[in-house]
Structure 1
Amino acid sequence: MTRPKKATVALIYDFDGTLSPGNMQEYGFIQATGLDANTFWEKNTKMKEAQDASEILCYMKLMISEASHKGLLLTKNSLKDYGKNVELFKGVKEWFALINKYGSDNGIVIEHYINSSGLKEIIEGTPIAKEFKHIYACSFFYSPEGKAEWPAVAVDFTAKTQFLFMINKGIRYVKDNKKVNEFKPDIERPIPFRHMIYFGDGETDVPCMKLIKQQGGRSIAVYNPSKRAKKAAAEKLIAENRVNFVCPADYSEGKEIYKVVTTIIDKIKSDYEFKKLLLAHEKKGEKL
């Protein structure tokens, strides 16, 4: 397999707290059940502790239970409708075109991915869903009538690392998870880890951040600038050497995230071109 003429860079995002200031269930679904956000998440915590269960599986069960109790339709379409109301951080809507152009202008292919413990169906309803090559997130099984019945995919912090390997190896679907552990030479992997940039804000992102950093990629801890506790949590990650950068969640042109990401892209391009140059000269030596 020959090396591609252009480097591909994968920008991989958590969603809640990274692209959006809140949990996606808080933008319509929880209100529709008649609960407030604090009550919903308190119920989730109590269920998790009482059953010694996964927090992710608990929130998915709680969504089904509360919807059933209130007579709400919980379908792909209803969840996508909730996604229309999800709030995004400043500059997020414009971010993708901005970075895609920067990549194109510099001979770099940019791909965007979601790696989230939130719900795929809600994310698919947001105005930025079309920007992602693939969305790796939780999802439900649906009845023939389209009603959510059971968790199909539950994404906790360990599952998130699996999706990084799927991106690395060019595996798109969760059903192909056996391929994750199959051997594939590095040169045949479409996106090396060193060409990945990971954006996250919380504990579920720590294994991904650390893995990407250890493998030569870059991790960015993002925080809500209006919340002091979020900033402190992000700064703790860099103090513990788990991330490369810490940035406020403003994705506008010229802001800190933009400067960090464009500089990383410049570095990836430079390293890629240098490696191509070395390989070309190695081939000259092989001819002697």
Structure 2
Amino acid sequence: MRETIAVIFDFDDTLAPDSTSGLLQKLGVDVEIFWRDEVEPLIRDDWDPVPAYLVKMIQKSRSGEVETITQQMLEDWGQRLPLHVGVTSIFQRIRDHAKKINPRISIEFYLISSGIEDVLRHTQIAHEFHDIWASNFSYDETGAIAYPKKVVSFTDKTRYIFHIKKGLSVDAVRGKPFEVNRKMPSGRSRIPLNQMIFVGDGYTDIPCFTLVRKGGGIAIGVYDNERRDRWGRAWGFVEDGRVSNLVPADFEEKRALSNSLIMAVESLAQKISLQGNIYQG
């Protein structure tokens, strides 16, 4: 059996403050008005939230209301955007702990986000991820954002859970959107759902919370201590049985989230070891 644990993160408000709002604020946009008065009316008109915000960003960029948003700008912002406390060290701490439990265990980190891929692929932690899936733009001949190219929202996120399960990398399926539907022989999953941990904060993460938990994995919900307006939403994930645990988005060593991740990895590592011993016996 494959002794690999997949730790899968959402990005915005999970590993960092909202990256899109941060970029818009840097450009001088009132982000509260942007989401409430520009994006929300599209959602009420039955737009999906993710293409709604992507289109509104394109309109702002083209209108001259803000500096033209280019691919280079997105990449530069990714390099500078702030992360939650403790994020840069959590990956190695998890790897080190897993090795103590079972030296044969390997940890793979994945990122599945509704945020902008060209931002996320240039953060200081991008190298930690085995693969990154996120929304993105196409660009015109000047490098400016032109059209939504890829949208990752709600159940779209579960699609990439199945990519991980089947071992389908970003490069392997580039230009092959239906590859994930390829039938896999029973018991041949590269990483089964019961060897996954999913960490997220919002409504777009609910399908992943549910899928991973039903498959025997672990779902951890996080919330921002500074955003009291979102506490009720976060608590709802617990009441609905969406998550295994709910903790503040603080990744410092010995804090609740770090401990929860360590214990989740330890639990799955011990189960894998036990299963391995049964198969060998």
User: Do both proteins adopt the same fold according to a TM-score greater than 0.5, normalized to the shorter chain?
Assistant: yes
Partner of 2:5: 9
Deviation at 1:232, TM superposition (A): 2.8
Amino acid at match of 1:19: L
Distance 1:263 1:118, change over 3 A: same
C-alpha offsets along residues 44-98 of structure 1, whole Å, 9 cap, x if unaligned?
1123334x21211111111111111126333322101122332221111221122
* 1:60 equivalenced with 2:54 (yes/no): yes
1:137 aligns with 2:131: no
Deviates most, 139-148 or 74-83:
139-148
Aligned mate of 2:107, from 90, 106, 110: 110
1:120 equivalenced with 2:114 (yes/no): no
2:175 alignment partner, SS class:
helix
Question: What RMSD, in angstroms, separates the aligned Cα atoms of the two structures?
Answer: 1.8
2:156 pairs with 1:159: yes
Give the partner amino acid of 1:91: G
Q: Equivalents in 2 of 1:46, 1:230: separation in Å?
A: 21
Q: Which amino acid aligns with 1:148?
A: I
Note the 1:1-288 alignment, pairs <5 A.
Answer: 3-4=1-2, 7-21=3-17, 23-32=18-27, 34-42=28-36, 43-50=38-45, 52-70=46-64, 72-106=67-101, 107=103, 108-173=105-170, 175-281=175-281
Residue deviations 1:157-188 (CA, integer Å, cap 9, x gap): 01011110011111123533312111112433
Corresponding letter in the other structure for 2:208: C
Paired with 1:109 and 1:79, the residues of 2 have a C-alpha distance of 32
Taking the aligned partners of 1:187 and 1:91, their CA distance within structure 2 comes to 37
How many Å apart are 1:26 and its aligned residue?
Answer: 2.1
What is the aligned partner in structure 2 of residue 284 from structure 1?
none
Deviation of residue 269 (structure 1)?
1.8
Larger Rg: 1
* 1:233-269 CA distance string (max 9 Å, x none): 2222111111111111111111112222222222212
2:98–2:269 contact (8 Å) kept in structure 1 = no
Aligned length: 274
1-structure distance, mates of 2:147, 2:137: 6
**CA contact under 8 A between 1:29 and 1:82: conserved in structure 2?**
no
Deviation at 1:145, TM superposition (A): 4.1
Structure 1 spans left out of the alignment, 5+ residues:
282-288
* Whole-Å separation in 1 of the counterparts to 2:132 and 2:54: 18
CA contact (8 A) 1:30 1:40 kept: no
Superposed CA offset, 1:22-52 (max 9, x none): x2122233441x42111211211123334x2
Q: Is the 8 A contact 1:28 1:85 kept in 2?
A: no
Q: Percent identity?
A: 30
Tell me the TM-score normalized by structure 2.
Answer: 0.91
